[in-house]
C-alpha cells in the first residue's frame, strides 16, 4: 500500500485566500483524522471521521475551517478565508479498528504558510 | 477529559545506551490505548508501539518497550541500544472515549531525544 497520501506537500498563500488540503487514506481504513501541528500548540486533533461520517469536530478552531469526506478514499480540509495564524503543518492519518489497537498511520503532512 | 504529560522537553543519550522517555496520563475511561510516535527532523510521524489498558504484558517492538504502570498512570518508552538514527521528537498519545462515547485522541507535547556518538 502507498500509505496515506496528502497533497499538496507545501502551500503558500496570501491572507484571505481559500486553501484546500487533500488526503487519501489507506485503503480499507475506516477512520480518518485531521491534525494540525505548530510549535506553540503542538499536535492538535481537528476532526475525525468514521466510515466517512464526521464524528468529532470539537477541535476545529472556528467556522473558517471545514472538512469533508465524500467517499472512503478522499477527504478535504478547507480554510476560507485563511489567516497568518493558520500557518502550520496539517497531517492526515487513518486507522482501522481491526486488531483493536487503532494504530494511526500518518501522511507526510502539508506545510501551510499564510502570508 | 484526558491528558497526556511529557515532562522532558529534551534528552541526551550516549550511543548504545538505553534511554527512558517519560509519559504520564490521566483519564476516567475504563478502556484506553497508549501509543508512542517518533517524528524525525524530516517531519513524518512514525508509529512505534501500542499498549492497551487491559494488556497484562508490557508491549515490546524490537528495541522499543513500553513500561506500563497502570496504577501510576505512566507509560514510559524505553529505547535500548540507542542509535544515531533515534535522534528525533517522541510523542506519547492516548486513545480513549470522550463523554459522547466517541474516540478521542490526545498527544503529549513531545520529548526531543538526541543521541550522542
Per-residue pLDDT at B100: 64
Task: Name the band, by pLDDT with cuts 50, 70 and 90, for residue B30.
Answer: confident
Angle, alpha carbons B68-B73-B76 (nearest 5°): 40
Contact A108 B50 (CB under 8 A): no
Chain B residues with beta carbon closer than 8 angstroms to that of A103 = 35, 47, 50
Per-residue pLDDT at B102: 67
pLDDT digits (tens, 9 = 90+) for A50-72: 999 998 898 998 899 999 999 99
Instruction: Please give the C-alpha separations between residue B36 and each of A23, A57, A69, A108, B33, in angstroms, as whole numbers.
Output: 23, 24, 27, 17, 10
Per-residue pLDDT at A100: 61
How would you class B41 by CB atoms within 10 Å of its CB: exposed for 0-12, middle for 13-18, buried for 19 or more?
Answer: exposed
The three three-digit cell numbers of residue A36, written as one number: 494540525
Chain B residues with beta carbon closer than 8 angstroms to that of A44 = 107
B111/B109 Cα distance (integer angstroms): 7
Question: What distance in Å separates residue B49's CA from the closest CA in chain A?
Answer: 9
pLDDT digits (tens, 9 = 90+) for B38-94: 999 999 999 999 999 988 899 999 999 999 999 999 999 999 999 999 999 999 999
Question: What distance in Å separates residue B107's CA from the closest CA in chain A?
Answer: 6
Interface residues of chain B, partner chain A, Cβ below 8 Å: 33, 35, 37, 43-47, 50, 52, 91, 95, 98, 100, 102-110
Question: What distance in Å separates residue B51's CA from the closest CA in chain A?
Answer: 8
Amino acid at each position: 500500500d502507498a500509505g496515506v497520501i496528502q497533497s499538496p506537500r507545501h502551500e503558500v498563500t496570501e491572507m484571505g485566500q481559500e486553501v484546500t488540503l487533500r488526503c487519501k487514506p489507506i485503503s480499507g481504513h475506516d477512520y480518518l483524522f485531521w491534525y494540525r501541528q505548530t510549535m506553540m500548540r503542538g499536535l492538535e486533533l481537528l476532526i475525525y471521521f468514521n466510515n466517512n461520517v464526521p464524528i468529532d469536530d470539537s477541535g476545529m478552531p472556528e467556522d473558517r475551517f471545514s472538512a469533508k469526506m465524500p467517499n472512503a478514499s478522499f477527504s478535504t480540509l478547507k480554510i476560507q478565508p485563511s489567516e497568518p495564524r493558520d500557518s502550520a503543518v496539517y497531517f492526515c492519518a487513518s486507522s482501522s479498528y481491526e486488531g483493536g489497537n487503532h494504530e494511526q498511520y500518518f501522511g507526510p503532512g502539508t506545510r501551510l504558510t499564510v502570508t | 477529559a484526558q491528558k497526556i504529560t511529557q515532562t522532558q522537553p529534551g534528552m541526551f543519550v550516549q550511543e548504545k545506551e538505553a534511554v527512558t522517555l517519560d509519559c504520564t496520563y490521566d483519564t476516567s475511561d475504563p478502556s484506553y490505548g497508549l501509543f508512542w510516535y517518533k517524528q524525525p527532523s524530516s517531519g513524518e510521524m512514525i508509529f512505534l508501539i501500542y499498549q492497551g489498558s487491559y494488556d497484562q504484558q508490557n508491549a515490546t517492538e524490537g528495541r522499543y518497550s513500553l513500561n506500563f504502570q497502570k496504577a501510576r498512570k505512566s507509560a514510559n518508552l524505553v529505547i535500548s541500544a540507542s542509535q544515531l538514527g533515534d535522534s528525533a521528537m517522541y510523542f506519547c498519545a492516548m486513545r480513549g472515549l470522550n463523554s459522547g462515547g466517541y474516540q478521542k485522541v490526545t498527544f503529549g507535547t513531545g520529548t526531543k531525544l538526541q543521541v550522542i556518538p
